[in-house]
Amino acid sequence: MSGIKIAIIGGSGVYKIEGIEVVKEHLVSTPFGNPSSEIIEARLSGVSFYFLPRHGKRHSFTPSDVNYRANIFALKELGVEYIISVSAVGSLKEEFPPTSFVIVDQFIDWTKGKRERTFFNNGFVGHVSVAEPIEKKLQEMIVAVCAEVGVKHGSGGSYLCIEGPQFSTKAESNIYRSFGASVIGMTNVPEAYLAKEAGMAYATIAMVTDYDCWKEEHCTLEEIMKVMATNNQQVHAVLKKLIPKLNSNKFNFKKENTFAILSKPEKLNAEQSHVIEVLLR
């Protein structure tokens, strides 16, 4: 193990931060297949961390095609304990305009069952609580850094995850607003739930690009590209402070998987035993 405890999962633009040094790339195979790409080991302000492009280096995986189990398992195998998810979202609330960040604390799963969403199947059983899917201390740290660098942000709220790759109809968008959800995206479920199953601290930086389609507001491609460029600049500023801060202020947290496994160890095969050994580290 390298001793690196922090990982960022996001788009390929996330790790193009001024001052970042790419050290090497790790090709990690897992019992669940291959992750989205090689896992990038990088260094920023003297702190080493991992970066995983969620959709692959060339954005070749749709949200439904991402191998979320392999991504999370590969990071846990490398020794990661803290995951910061960076995700583009649509806003479902007037108070979260484009270029604002929402540091959510809940998820609503509105996917369609196409995604492999648990490590516990095919002969061994475990039940992990995802009542609190976001690690509160990590969320609070992100909120504090957003305030420090001057990024407009909201603390708390629900991320509603749809299957995609299509965006919502207006009728759907208004239904989601009636749920009280704050933002809508396509990737953080089952990613967040799998991180809980793996005993990892997980938190999301949801970067608002638009108002979904509920709001009668036309956006040109040029305007959207400007929003995305602003969001990237802002998240770079956040990560440049957040990564060293988290590295210096690592914290203990409750691992919900500690007593979750019901299958008898003597009934497991070698691969299943390895999976459990990694998840429970």
Query: Annotated active-site positions, please?
Result: 210, 212
On the 0-12 / 13-18 / 19+ scale of CB atoms within 10 A, 40 is buried
SS3 content of the chain, % helix, strand, coil (to 5): 30, 25, 45
Q: Quote the crossing angle between the two packed helices 188-197 and 68-77, to the nearest 10°.
A: 40
How far apart CA 207 and CA 185 sit, in angstroms, is: 10
Q: Which ranges of the chain does DSSP label H, i.e. alpha helix?
A: 68-77, 136-149, 170-178, 188-197, 221-248, 270-279
> Which strand (E) or helix (H) includes residue 39?
strand 39-44
